[in-house]
Every structure is written in structure tokens, then in C-alpha cells.
């Protein structure tokens, strides 16, 4: 609950994935990828219910086994690689509403962010309360200055790639910028269900997360990095006496 408002955690996980096939059920440090987000949602002290929206029976079975609910299967027309998260959310909210289930707040937990934990969720909710915000979105620091980035022409010429004023500047001379990390999307249900519903309305605030907790798995490389980070975290824990 957030005040008197119920908080729904929604995990959207379709069966098809092109760059890393079946990624939502691949074992990451001994657990299917989706399980990491299910457990984080269930352990949050603010989340009232964790549901999974999927078109895939294996994902549904794994989700139920680990404590999430799968009250409906996602229709095929909302299960392709061009379907937006907003459309999946609206379908879920409307389907639940038909069964008499109403929620005031929505937390979208992408299964590709396995290192986001219940601590991050609870801190994001606290920020929402403190700011009296309409939404909270997870961000992390960018790895490199955008001044060092540019498009490349077909001939691969580097002419003008970095402006003269930025050439030779050390990294610390550029302003720190942030990118959306995909780990936390928290908002009011009424806002996301509006005709112009989006997570990026005025009244939203950034929840800053460490880069190591912000891995977003889209490729095999991302998967290997996540496994290495989990192993590092486990090996860094002090031994109990």
C-alpha cells in the first residue's frame, strides 16, 4: 500500500525474444531470469500484488511456482516485438478491473533488470511519497560524456566527430548525465490509463541507482556481466560467524 492506495507490481514477460532467445527463462545464477524480479516484488513492503503478463506457458508456470500470479494470458496481438509497454499495462489493468481488482499505483518491473531488489523498490516508493510525485523512474549515471558520441557517415570519417571545444577535455570536466535504466517505473494508474498516458509526465522524479545494480539484459554479453556481478556480490558478503 501507498497510503490508502493499492500498489500493483506488473512484470511483462513475453516468450519471444530475438537478440537473446528465451531470455526470461534462462538460468541466471541458478534462477530463471524472471524469478529475480518476482522475488524483489514479493519482498517489497509496499507491493500488494505481483502479477506476470505473458503469452508463454513456461513463463507462466515458473512465475506461479515462485509466488507471482498469472490471472490471465496475454493475447497474441500484444506479444510481438513492437508492442509497447503502455499497451501491455493498459490491457492488464483493464482485465483486472473487469474482475473487480482496482489499484491506485502501478510498478512496472522489467524482468531484464535482475539486480534491482526490494530495497530499490521501497526506496523508490519512499521518494514518491516524499515528493508527492506522480511518478518515479529509475536512472543511473551515463558511462561516458555524450560530447564524445556522434553519428558516423558511411565512409567512417571522424571529421567533426568531437567538436573543437571538447577535444582534449578530461572526462570529469563534462557535466554528469543520467540515463533511464529500465529497472523502476512507478506511477499512478490514473495517469498511465489516460489517453496520453506515459511514465514521463510532469511531476515525475528520478530514482538514482548504482551502475552495478542497473544492468539491463538484452544480449548474451549483458547476461554474462550480470552473472559476474552476482558472483562478485555473493563473494563480497562477510562470512557469518
Q: How do the pLDDT tens digits run along the chain, 241 residues long?
A: 998 999 999 999 988 777 788 999 999 999 999 999 999 999 999 999 999 999 999 999 999 999 999 999 998 888 888 788 899 999 999 999 998 899 999 999 999 999 999 999 999 999 999 999 999 999 999 988 999 999 999 999 999 999 999 988 888 889 999 999 999 999 999 999 887 878 888 889 999 999 999 999 999 999 999 999 998 887 876 655 4
Identify the pLDDT of residue 238.
64
Distance CA 55, CA 59 (A): 8
- Whose grid coordinates read 492506495? 5
* pTM, rounded to two decimals: 0.90
User: DSSP assignment of 40-106, as one string?
Assistant: HHHH-SS--EEEEE-S-HHHHHHHHHTT-B--SPPPGGG-STT--HHHHHHHHHHHHHHTT---SEE
pLDDT of 10-19, one tens digit each?
999 988 777 7
Nearest to 7 by CA among 118, 156, 84: 118
What whole-number distance in Å separates Cα of residue 177 and Cα of residue 4?
35
Q: What is the pLDDT of residue 121?
A: 98
Contact 7, 1 (CB under 8 A): yes
Q: Please answer whether residues 29 and 231 qualify as being in contact, where contact means their C-beta atoms are separated by less than 8 angstroms.
A: yes
Looking at residue 5, what DSSP letter applies?
Answer: B
Query: In the chain, where are the structural domains located?
Result: 7-142+178-236, 143-176
Q: For the residues of 176-212, what is the DSSP string, one character each?
A: P-EEEEEEEEEEEHHHHTSTT--S--TTEEEEE--GG
Could you please state the CATH topology (level 3) that the domain comprising 7-142+178-236 is classified under: Spore Coat Polysaccharide Biosynthesis Protein SpsA; Chain A (3.90.550)
Distance, in Å, from the CA atom of 235 to the CA atom of 35, rounded to the nearest integer, reads: 21
pLDDT on residue 196: 80
Give the model's pLDDT for residue 241.
46
> Which residue, 180, 24, 1, is CA-closest to 107?
1
Report the pLDDT value the prediction gives residue 197, as an integer from 0 to 100: 79
Question: For residue 94, which phi and psi values (nearest 5 degrees)?
Answer: -65, -40
Sign of CA dihedral 178, 180, 185, 191: positive
Amino acid at each position: 500500500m501507498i497510503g490508502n492506495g493499492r500498489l500493483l507490481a506488473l512484470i511483462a514477460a513475453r516468450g519471444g525474444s530475438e537478440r537473446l532467445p528465451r531470455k526470461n527463462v534462462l538460468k541466471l545464477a541458478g534462477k530463471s531470469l524472471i524469478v529475480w524480479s518476482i522475488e524483489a516484488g514479493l519482498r517489497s513492503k509496499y507491493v500488494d500484488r505481483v502479477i506476470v503478463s505473458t503469452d508463454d506457458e513456461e513463463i507462466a508456470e515458473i512465475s506461479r511456482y515462485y509466488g507471482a500470479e498469472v490471472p490471465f494470458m496475454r493475447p497474441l496481438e500484444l506479444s510481438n516485438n513492437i508492442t509497447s509497454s503502455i499497451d501491455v499495462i493498459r490491457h492488464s489493468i483493464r482485465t483486472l478491473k473487469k474482475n473487480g481488482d482496482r489499484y491506485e499505483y502501478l510498478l512496472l518491473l522489467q524482468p531484464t533488470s535482475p539486480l534491482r531488489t526490494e530495497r530499490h523498490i521501497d526506496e523508490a516508493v519512499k521518494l514518491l511519497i516524499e515528493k508527492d510525485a506522480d511518478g518515479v523512474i529509475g536512472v543511473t549515471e551515463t558511462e561516458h560524456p555524450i560530447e564524445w558520441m556522434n553519428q558516423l557517415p558511411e565512409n567512417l570519417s571522424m571529421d567533426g566527430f568531437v567538436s573543437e571545444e571538447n577535444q582534449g577535455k578530461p572526462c570529469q570536466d563534462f557535466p554528469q548525465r543520467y540515463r533511464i535504466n529500465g529497472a523502476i517505473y512507478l506511477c499512478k494508474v490514473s495517469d498511465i490509463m489516460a489517453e496520453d498516458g506515459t511514465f514521463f509526465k510532469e511531476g515525475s522524479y528520478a530514482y538514482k541507482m548504482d551502475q552495478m545494480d542497473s544492468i539491463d539484459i538484452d544480449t548474451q554479453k549483458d547476461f554474462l556481466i550480470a552473472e559476474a556481478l552476482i558472483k562478485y556480490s555473493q563473494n563480497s558478503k562477510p562470512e557469518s560467524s
